[in-house]
Structure 1
Amino acid sequence: MLWRYNPNTKIELRRKYPVTPSDFPLSDIVKTIFESKSIAIFGDYDVDGISSSLILKNALDVLGIQNKIFLPEREEGYGIKPEHVQQIKAEGFDAVITVDNGITAFEAAKAAREAGIKLIITDHHEPLAHLPDAYKIFNPKLYKDKYQDYAGAGVAYLIARELLRQRNFSVTPAMIQLAGLATVADVVPLDGNNWYIARKGLELMRKQPIKGIKEILRTAGRNHENLTGFDIGWIIAPRINATGRLKSPKMGLELLLYGTNAEEVEQLNRKRLELVNQYLSRIEDSENKFLIYAFKNCPRGITGLIAGRAAEKFQKPVMVSSIDSSGKAVSSARTYGDFDLMEAFKYVSEHVDITFGGHKSAAGVSYSIRDLKRIQNLLNKYTEENPPKEEIRDLDGVLTKVPDLEEVMAFDSFEPFGYKNPEPAFLLEGTVTDVRADQDWQLVIVNGEFGFFLDNTYRKGDKIKFIVSPYIKNGYVKLWVLDEKPTIIDE
């Protein structure tokens, strides 16, 4: 991993994320919502889509506007489709608003026009050159002069806030918590406006978490008063996502809304971990620049997790496909380093019939398995011509002693840590002064005072250069090794 060298020799963490005004033109969308008699909210099956749906529902409930959440099952595929429009029409709704999806829903937009339903698309995914023929569309990425990197729940929050503001209501604590949860979980940059949303959500979760978050933390053995970005991204979010991956997103919706089925969700999460590890054990690296793994009837809900773990392991972009009996491959792709998946699949789509959508670093792709070899060759060619650039992380300082408890406690003002707001990172250089080992563990002592449990083999007298991150456990300062073989560069 590449790191920018910081010559400071004291604990130092200086980060500033100024909030920029969110003055998007939302008056038309708000007016359309107020003019509607009943509104269907069409979300997605992950934590961002579920949270987005609940944020909007919360606002509409406060305003007394009839509404209902519709969440697709993962087998139905991502995004609103004509059959969903027909179902919404049959249930008597005169408007539907999408959250966390819809920016490429061309067929659904056409179906809504024909059915006489007002389709309002709100999304945060990358728009294509042409937009669906919807009644109204809002996506921050269409406004190049403003902050664009909101999660789907961030977009829903902006709309809900404006709806309530126009009727002299305030956003609720639940809405802020849901927006903060999804902002951390959906791996959007935790800077500027996103960090502000995530921070306010974290503060409220620590004081009085909504039922679902409280129940998840209880079953996971965590205390909400000490909640961190790690807990949001690695404890809460995966359990909500497990419902949509292995059973139904409606279970995740009910968990967040009512706090029900927490134990069953905990079991689903354990099953998810087992399945991902099983598939990971079946894959190996190859000479391909862009790795593709195709499995018959692999649960679609875990392909993204497998791809993400494989990309990190092999340091290459990865696509994992689940093939059904008809030969259709439904896939998830994850990137490594600075590599634009959307551009890669745009290039492929010029030569092969595929459908794709998502983000620069995470995408969903569908294709026919008979085209697998051509797609592999095209992705290899594109990746060779546009190789991933390894991301450079900044060091926050240099450690010469174990930090004081008060110094590490001060880092909490920068929580939640996550994408583009990583945990504090410090350079530690020195000598291995002792090694204590048993059959299952190895304790490495550096400079006579820093102790680490490590897998790599070390001997007394070895010179080391580690990147470490301090944290607090049971009232004591501990150090987590982020990188045992860092490359320090001067810029």
Structure 2
Amino acid sequence: MEKRWQFGSPDEGLMEALSAQLHISPVLAQVLANRGIADVRAGDHFLHNTLADMADPFLMKGMENAVIRLEQAITEKQRIVIYGDYDVDGITSTSLVYSVLRDLGASPQFYIPERESEGYGLNEGALEQLSRQADLLITVDCGISSHDLVQQFSPVLDMIITDHHEPPEQIPPALAVLNPKQAGCPYPFKELAGAGVAYVLCRALWQHHCHEDLPGYTDLAALGTIADLVPLTGENRILVRHGLAAMKEGKRTGIKALLDASNLSGKDITAGRIAFTAAPRLNAAGRISHATKGVELLLETDAAKAAADAAELSRLNTERQDIEHTIAQEAITQIEGQARGRDGVLIAYHEGWHVGVIGIAASRLVETYYRPSLVITVRDGIGKGSCRSISGFNMYEALQYAQDLLIQFGGHTMAAGFSVRAENIEALRRRLLDYAAAHMTAADYVPLVHIDKQLEPADVTLDLIVELSRLEPYGMGNSRPVFSLSGATVEEIRPIGREKQHVRLVARGADRTRLSGVAWSQAGLCDAIVEGDVIDVAFQLERNDFNGMSSPQLVIQDVHLPGRHIVLNRAVMVDIYMALKKCIPDWGMPVWQVRRRLAADQGDCYDVHTIYAAIVVLREIGVLKIRHDDDGPAYYFPILAGKMDLHASPTYELYCKE
């Protein structure tokens, strides 16, 4: 998929000041400026802030009331219940508040609703039960949208709401509501995750109770913050940086077991590794089984028991991956079968899809089509949906635009959830398509790559990689920097990996500097690039350690081929199709062999890039298929039903000159 490149162009004077006064390279100075660092003081804070630089927790609206009530509950040995959510943010928030209250002498309990039967947030049945078991209820990562339920139960149950989701017009009439996004809250940092809000509450309580700042617990706050995909800037960055350091120390038994089960022991613990390996295991508890398992692991102090719990979460995560893969493939098949892959918004729905993984399936649709995507599972006439979006499409606003068709909804700009009657799903699709037509342009559906700076080949060094590590932890709002190189000549390109889904590329710069890179899950580059091509590369940088040697490695994000001249028309497509029919036997042929033979057979007639583009077109319209054999991917011709339309291929539309 062709991507647009957008180059950062910060103020030259600012970059010079950052470089000179912070004693950093011009490259790091430009990356900081691209991240909105407006002066030297802000740059110094970004690079050096500590927990002491976090705001006074009592600035958060409602904090004084919350702390006074908690102190009373601790002193009087009252019954406290923490009501959490079933995702990682909710699991870690629950564990954090539980741990702090326990360490202050309380004997708290916790309650997390079951995802499928109870759904997200407060529910009447749970509150009815808990009102007879508790004197004080603390919500974490939920509750801000539960005005009516809080009003109903507040006469019989004191409630403290802590949440970070967008507040509605009516704030629940709880004893205290902690949410930095609510109107009139002076707390300066608004982008805390649920675990971050819980940490601020615990920090205020500890200061009030112990007359010192909160010691530790940042590992739990960091785990929830990373998993919830909030911007890793400001206080989130502080919490995650300190939390990752705490995780490396391995003092919390449950987190150490989780990292061991995630094969992270002995490795550098980064936000990315937590997000892609450890967090999904915790998430699997709430998606496939019950989130209580995740809380129990994080609270466990016996190493053997924690190891067993972590192994169980790993098993659940594998099960979750299998279910998710099946649903994602069925959703893609549904969209392809309806020829909706180029719609402004994608909706796939089915009876009985597992509600715990539809959000991940929606993410897979975004990865495949780069379209806002909704995946809905239907049961008893009610559809529960999960949404993932792309830059420029506000999913929360889009659902507001269709709220008369929905039973309920909630979420953020990039991700949301909702429920809808099955008979309204098609009306929802039409409404969201109308919203997309009014708010999106064709360019918005082309992925954008933000380039921090163009480098020369000689700039790509291990020293630069070491310096750039000062930007960590990476995440939303502070992504790993992306650079570009121009005019590199490809010396080698080949697929790698068990299923040949990745690509190894070696190129030389104009100054003859040899550069090596890897492109993960971009096997299509082998359809577009041949050895000898001159390319522009967008990439991230990482250190590659192999056989006792260290070298810079490009992690390729995108490749542009300037001046490539591809012309497709019906005659070209017929020629390439007939050549393939002669080349590929009934049982198929390895992809690399087909490319090599066709380039040799048709090279006198067509440029190799035209040949490769024609093969892509035939794949896109279903004339040519790929299967994955033990020795790699292979092309074969399927049995076709009906006529194939060349204009259904995005590649053909791009290069067609009829």
TM-score normalized by structure 2? 0.69
Residue identity in the other structure for 1:28 = N
* CA 1:45–1:484: 2 relative to 1, 3 Å: same
1:45 paired to 2:102: no
1:416 paired to 2:473: yes
Which aligned pairs between 1:172-183 and structure 2 lie closer than 5 A?
Answer: 172-173=215-216, 175-183=217-225
Residue identity in the other structure for 1:432 = T
Q: Is the 8 A contact 1:428 1:466 kept in 2?
A: yes
Partner residue of 1:483? 558
Please point out which of 15, 36, 55 is paired with 1:21: 55
1:254 paired to 2:271: no
- In terms of fraction of residues, the more helix-rich structure is 2
1:69 paired to 2:117: no
Partner residue of 2:363? 308
Which aligned pairs between 1:119-130 and structure 2 lie closer than 5 A?
Answer: 119-130=159-170
Alpha-carbon distance in structure 2 between the residues aligned to 1:66 and 1:486: 64
Which aligned pairs between 1:162-201 and structure 2 lie closer than 5 A?
Answer: 162-168=204-210, 169-173=212-216, 175-201=217-243
1:332 paired to 2:369: no
> Which secondary structure does the structure 2 equivalent of 1:41 belong to?
strand
Residue identity in the other structure for 2:472 = E
Partner residue of 2:483? 426
Alpha-carbon distance in structure 2 between the residues aligned to 1:337 and 1:486: 25
Q: Cα deviation per residue 1:417-440 (whole Å; 9 max; x = unaligned)?
A: 111111121112223342254794
Alpha-carbon distance in structure 1 between the residues aligned to 2:495 and 2:128: 64
Alpha-carbon distance in structure 2 between the residues aligned to 1:354 and 1:106: 16
Q: Is the 8 A contact 1:332 1:363 kept in 2?
A: yes
Alpha-carbon distance in structure 2 between the residues aligned to 1:442 and 1:162: 51
1:205 paired to 2:247: yes
Partner residue of 1:134? 174
User: Which deviates the most, 79-88 or 94-103?
Assistant: 79-88
Partner residue of 1:58? 99
Please point out which of 350, 357, 360 is paired with 2:413: 360
> Which secondary structure does the structure 2 equivalent of 1:124 belong to?
coil
Alpha-carbon distance in structure 2 between the residues aligned to 1:403 and 1:137: 50
Alpha-carbon distance in structure 2 between the residues aligned to 1:82 and 1:314: 39
Residue identity in the other structure for 1:341 = M
Partner residue of 2:28? 12
Partner residue of 2:346? 291
Larger-Rg structure: 2
* CA 1:151–1:399: 2 relative to 1, 3 Å: farther
Q: CA deviation at 1:193?
A: 1.2
> Which secondary structure does the structure 2 equivalent of 1:360 belong to?
coil
User: Which deviates the most, 407-416 or 46-55?
Assistant: 407-416
Q: CA deviation at 1:379?
A: 0.8
Partner residue of 1:344? 398
Q: Cα deviation per residue 1:72-123 (whole Å; 9 max; x = unaligned)?
A: 11111000112111121232x1110100000111342133224x10111110
Q: CA deviation at 1:442?
A: 5.3
Q: Cα deviation per residue 1:455-475 (whole Å; 9 max; x = unaligned)?
A: 212212212111111112434
Q: Is the 8 A contact 1:12 1:396 kept in 2?
A: no
Q: CA deviation at 1:201?
A: 0.7
1:460 paired to 2:531: yes
> Which secondary structure does the structure 1 equivalent of 2:505 belong to?
strand
1:451 paired to 2:498: no
Cα RMSD of the aligned pairs, angstroms, is: 2.4
Partner residue of 2:145? 104
* CA 1:198–1:2: 2 relative to 1, 3 Å: farther
> Which secondary structure does the structure 1 equivalent of 2:190 belong to?
coil
Q: Is the 8 A contact 1:5 1:394 kept in 2?
A: yes
Alpha-carbon distance in structure 2 between the residues aligned to 1:96 and 1:445: 59
Alpha-carbon distance in structure 2 between the residues aligned to 1:334 and 1:30: 36
Alpha-carbon distance in structure 2 between the residues aligned to 1:11 and 1:470: 13
Alpha-carbon distance in structure 1 between the residues aligned to 2:488 and 2:313: 46
Q: CA deviation at 1:304?
A: 0.7
Q: Is the 8 A contact 2:518 2:554 kept in 1?
A: no
Partner residue of 1:227? 269
Q: Is the 8 A contact 1:430 1:446 kept in 2?
A: no
Q: Percent identity?
A: 28
Alpha-carbon distance in structure 2 between the residues aligned to 1:46 and 1:416: 22
Alpha-carbon distance in structure 1 between the residues aligned to 2:223 and 2:554: 26
* CA 1:97–1:235: 2 relative to 1, 3 Å: same
Alpha-carbon distance in structure 2 between the residues aligned to 1:396 and 1:166: 47
Q: CA deviation at 1:208?
A: 2.7
Alpha-carbon distance in structure 2 between the residues aligned to 1:256 and 1:485: 46
User: Which deviates the most, 219-228 or 297-306?
Assistant: 219-228
Partner residue of 2:598? none
TM-score normalized by structure 1? 0.92
Residue identity in the other structure for 1:130 = Q
* CA 1:343–1:465: 2 relative to 1, 3 Å: same
Alpha-carbon distance in structure 2 between the residues aligned to 1:321 and 1:122: 29
Q: CA deviation at 1:35?
A: 2.1
Q: CA deviation at 1:397?
A: 4.6
Residue identity in the other structure for 2:555 = W
Alpha-carbon distance in structure 1 between the residues aligned to 2:503 and 2:241: 37
Q: Cα deviation per residue 1:132-169 (whole Å; 9 max; x = unaligned)?
A: 23222111101465221100000000000000000125
Q: Is the 8 A contact 2:358 2:377 kept in 1?
A: yes
Alpha-carbon distance in structure 2 between the residues aligned to 1:486 and 1:367: 45
* CA 1:477–1:431: 2 relative to 1, 3 Å: closer
Residue identity in the other structure for 2:396 = M
1:383 paired to 2:454: no
Alpha-carbon distance in structure 2 between the residues aligned to 1:41 and 1:438: 50
Alpha-carbon distance in structure 1 between the residues aligned to 2:353 and 2:541: 39
Alpha-carbon distance in structure 1 between the residues aligned to 2:197 and 2:265: 29
Alpha-carbon distance in structure 2 between the residues aligned to 1:486 and 1:406: 29
Please point out which of 61, 66, 70 is paired with 1:33: 70
Q: Is the 8 A contact 2:493 2:531 kept in 1?
A: no
Q: CA deviation at 1:12?
A: 3.0
1:161 paired to 2:203: yes
User: Which deviates the most, 381-390 or 36-45?
Assistant: 381-390
Alpha-carbon distance in structure 1 between the residues aligned to 2:144 and 2:504: 52
Q: Is the 8 A contact 2:67 2:204 kept in 1?
A: yes
Residue identity in the other structure for 1:198 = V
User: Unaligned regions of 5+ residues in structure 2, if any?
Assistant: 10-14, 16-24, 33-42, 301-305, 563-658
Residue identity in the other structure for 1:110 = Q
Q: Is the 8 A contact 1:82 1:107 kept in 2?
A: no
Residue identity in the other structure for 1:21 = A
Structure with larger RCO (C-alpha < 8 A, sep 6+):
1
Alpha-carbon distance in structure 1 between the residues aligned to 2:223 and 2:80: 24
Alpha-carbon distance in structure 1 between the residues aligned to 2:264 and 2:138: 35
Q: Is the 8 A contact 1:10 1:397 kept in 2?
A: no
Partner residue of 2:284? 242
> Which secondary structure does the structure 2 equivalent of 1:472 belong to?
strand
Alpha-carbon distance in structure 2 between the residues aligned to 1:292 and 1:380: 10
Q: Is the 8 A contact 2:99 2:299 kept in 1?
A: no
Residue identity in the other structure for 1:4 = Q
Q: Is the 8 A contact 2:65 2:175 kept in 1?
A: no
